[in-house]
Amino acid sequence: MDHPLLNKFIKDLILQIFSMIDEQEPTESKRHRAQGIIKIAKRMFSIKGVLSYTVLIQKIPNHLVYKNNVED
């Protein structure tokens, strides 16, 4: 392509798409990881309903666990 303006537009568009994907990747992986941890904890400790800090701290003493609300 010999159109410099079109070339610049396409390059900028591709960079914006890659930037958007790069921003969404950590968020999605954190969400999936949190969902997996909650499922394992529910299975291990037979927890029903919403998993929260207070339930976990009673089940797992001496461990640092923080509340993370994740929709299933």
Q: Please state, in angstroms and as integers, the Cα–Cα distance from residue 24 to each residue in 5, 27, 29, 30, 71, following that order.
A: 29, 5, 9, 10, 17
* 65 assigned to some structural domain: no
Residue matched to tokens 């037979």: 46
72/62 Cα distance (integer angstroms): 27
In the predicted model, residues of the chain with pLDDT beneath 70 are 1, 45-72
- What pLDDT, on a 0 to 100 scale, did the predictor assign at position 28? 80
* Burial category of 57 from C-beta neighbours within 10 Å (exposed 0-12, middle 13-18, buried 19 and up): middle
- pTM (2 d.p.): 0.41
- How many structural domains compose the chain? 1
Residue range of the domain that includes 38 = 4-59
* 39 assigned to some structural domain: yes
- What pLDDT, on a 0 to 100 scale, did the predictor assign at position 26? 80
19/62 Cα distance (integer angstroms): 40
